[in-house]
Amino acid sequence: MNHRFSSCHLWFARVPEQSPPRPQSPPETHPSPRSYHFPNAGHVFDSGPGFLGWFHNDEDSDRRSSHPYYPFLSKGEWEIAGFFMRSGLSMKLIDEFLSLGLIAGLGLSFHCARTLRGKVELLPSGPPWKSTVVSLPGYATKDPLVLYYRDPMNCIEFTMKNPLFSGKIQYQPRQDFDSYGNRTYGDWITSDGAWDYQSRLPSHATLLGVTLSSDKTRLSAMTGDRVAHPLLITLANIDSSVRSSTSSHAFSLLALFPVPKFVGVKKNIQGVLENRLAHSCLDFITHPLKIASQHGAWVSDYAGNIRYCFTPLVAYISILASLKTLASQFDPSQVHIYTSNAKALFRLNGVNLPFWRDWYLPDGTLPNPHQIFPIEILHHLHKSFWDHDAKWVIRAVGDLELDLRFSLIQPRNGYRHFSSGISSLKQVTGREHRDIQRYLLALIPTDTDERFVLCIRALLDLRYLSQLQQVTQRDLHAISDALKLFHTYKQVIIDLGLRVGKGGPMDHFQIPKLELLQSIASCIQWSGTLPQWSADTTERLHIVFIKMPRENTNGRDYPPQICRNLDRQEKCRYFDLATRLEEAISAGPGTANGVDDPDSVFNPVDDDSDWKNDFPDIAEAFDPPRTITDLFTFAADTQSQHNLPPFPRTFATPTTAFHMNNRAHLSRSTLDQVSVQYDIPDLLQATHDFFSHFFHDQNTRTIAGRRGTAWDIAIPFKEVRVWHSVRVQTYSQISPGVAPPQKLFAIPPGEDWPNGRCDTAIFSQDATAGPLQPPPGLHGFFVGQIRTIFHPLWDLQTKLPLYLTYVERFDIIPQTDLPRGQRLAPDLIWGMYVLRRACRSDGSPMGAVVPLYHLRQPVQLVPKFGEKADPTLTSQTSFDASRDFYLNHYFDKEDYFYFRDSLVI
């Protein structure tokens, strides 16, 4: 389900024309989303060898015509060998296993790990590894510097030949527009940069956007200084959802840079020389790409379609902000004027010959260097948040007070709870950065300078909006608005003494990562949305490409051993894929062994069909589907069964899916017993009220007014089943498909939770009509705390699959500074709704029984602790001891965009 929301505007900004809530299908009055493809781009000129053609072009292909699994004796022997190569077992353990009597009796052609590896070396090979000795003239190193690398054009072509990427590589730049005519940006192929580059190519040529990533990774676990410096390569044409998956193998290891130790140089010069050496290696490795970028090259894909391809550099993912600063200071034609004092005068890293200096386009122009360094979310947004925003709040609130507030938040299943606070955290990762962002704004005391709160809120909005996977022009305006708000009030940070460096308070905002925020909007327009450029993926790949293979080395001279290990894994992966395809083709209807053109199994490029539809088992084995459980599909399958269970455990509405445990926590209990155990004194009366209205109107529910007096209405059951939790799933607000399921608790009071552990959610008053997302003021919706979940055990013939929940309501505190018709609005400074427990005249919480299917979205309420938090509270008691709460839509990105339109006033 694609994102189709209006932009999130700040409270003081002008209110744009509000877009209607997202319908289940586009309204007939609006045109459908449309795309314009670049004309005469991505043309297929001829046909050549594809993936299976590569496989049959091996020097041992003649032997495989009679023995398909050569050099292995049979399919079974290959399966055993493939298991060993994938397992990560050491050679010693493999030898021990093969020496077992039972295994020795299998008659395998390999009896030790060395023989096994020798056979794997005979499999068809991908891009071969090479090595060369490099140096930096005029500087000696402790050891010889060896660069291990592969031909980048071979890596790109081998990626294109991967049949698992069929339908996942886009060869025509396009411009996308939503149903309201707004330009949308997503993958790189939809960006202005892709369109601009294609316009500089010859007609019918294919644009292949090269993406490089490099960063050092530490190999020593506890002690030592072993460091590797890998270089990864991929194509920006590959769908971002595929590139961001480490299991897709969209990235290839292109090179291992030497990590030098220069002799007789000062420490500060060591880093400059390392950077110059890295650029020198990059210059050498990428030379074939530069030639293809200017003159083109003929490249074939998995089906053998040959295209005339050009390979400009479109993204270099690196955490070194100095590279970005360097590239933005000078015209690329003037790189020769860099001097030795560049770092002191201009904050540059001293590289005088950056590798991109001669990466020309066919028309002889150079891309603007700052355009090849997209904003990198992990470091430029999340780490910047921890280094600056979080530290400002810690100083403004006080570390003890802020730690106490973090510890008092009621835990939510599946989310990090900071029981000891955040001020003393060490080695904080990107995961912790994101988790802290969820709570920080809601925990700032009410007596904090409002200008400072607005600054923190603006930066949070900026970070959440920048993580959209599909961005419209209105989203770009919202990003700019948030940035303007921060700059309007940022001086208060200096005035309060919160901007502190190693030498004490600072009176400037010369922060490189903060400066990069100015270019977020232009970066999205030129390069596509930011999540696709995050170093999250490449840092995980360092484990796969470097750290795991290194564990199978002898610890000495590990770079060549890593390269050989990866080469063997690559050979096994593609040999397995090719043999499975060969076997499936031979067994398929209407085909025979030894087809003349093995690549004919693949559909031509202009065909919308996909070979994976013909061989789903093979595709799923190598390209497994997403692991997120789809409760909507499961509920639909359950509903379609002929023998539908009387009380299905999984069911769904058009907006929300629910899953109950197969076994209830209380299998049989009366309402009186539940009322006592769960401390809900009016549960029986609330149930009478519910059924007095339910059989007249099954769709509308409110929690308001006096209790009814219809005690003479017979409830058609005496006992109920009770659950302590329910799994809830919604459609994602930020990407196609479903969001991960969330578990909501309704646990009764006990020793660990004196008042029970009860989560909160937003409910719709109307189960069948009304908006799918809450409008401003939450009209038609209410926020409630789930106290218990139960299912009636019907006495009569009634078999209504009705799951009920007792919910206590929260009301919005009106903003008296606004006109009367707009007072049900978020707090003007914090930007969040402030809620208060709804109480009856006797002071008891106002609750009622509501069908579970009225639930729309889990939400988090954070107690409004005021100026000082009560230190006698705990995370188990703080919620029930509080009266006022923030509806914290920053708790989750799904929550943020779910409430986005409702925050417009």
Contact between 853 and 802 under an 8 Å Cβ cutoff? The reply is no
| pLDDT of res. 93 | 93
Which tens digits make up the pLDDT trace of 553-564?
A: 877 888 999 999
Contacts of 554 (CB under 8 A, 6+ apart): 561
Enter the DSSP assignment of 850. Answer: E
Order across the sheet with 174-177: list the strands: 34-37, 174-177, 183-185, 471-472
pLDDT value of residue 348: 60
Count how many residues are written for the chain: 905
Instruction: Quote the DSSP letter at residue 846.
Output: -
Tell me the per-residue pLDDT of 184-195, one tens digit each, with 9 for 90 and over.
Answer: 999 999 999 999
Describe the crossing of helices 91-98 and 113-120 by its angle, rounded to 10 degrees.
Answer: 110
Spell out, as residue ranges, where the chain has pLDDT lower than 50: 1-30, 321-340, 344-345, 590-595, 604-609
Task: Annotate 28-58 with b (16+ C-beta within 10 A) or e (fewer).
Answer: eeeeebeeeebeebbebeebebbbbbbbbeb
pLDDT tens figures, 89-98 = 889 999 999 9
Helices (H), 246-318: 267-285, 287-295
pLDDT value, residue 326: 41
Enter the tokens of residue 44.
Answer: 């297929």
The reported pLDDT for the residue numbered 610 is 62
Give the torsion sign (CA, 120, 121, 122, 125): positive
Give me the residue spans of the domains in the chain: 31-71+122-374+532-625, 378-527, 666-727+746-903
Q: 3-class DSSP state for residue 227?
A: strand
Q: For residue 736, what pLDDT is reported?
A: 83
| Amino acid at residue number 106 | L
pTM above 0.95, yes or no: no
Q: What DSSP character marks residue 211?
A: E
3-state secondary structure of 320: coil
Per-residue pLDDT at 607: 40
> Which residue, 844, 744, 819, 753, is CA-closest to 789?
744
Task: Give the model's pLDDT for residue 246.
Answer: 87
- Maximum pairwise Cα distance, the chain: 99
pLDDT at residue 387, rounded to an integer: 94
Cβ atoms of residues 652 and 668 within 8 Å: no
What single-letter amino acid sits at 19? S
Give the helix/strand (H/E) hosting 812: strand 804-812
pLDDT of residue 599: 63
Beta bridge partners of 46: 306
pLDDT at 565: 92
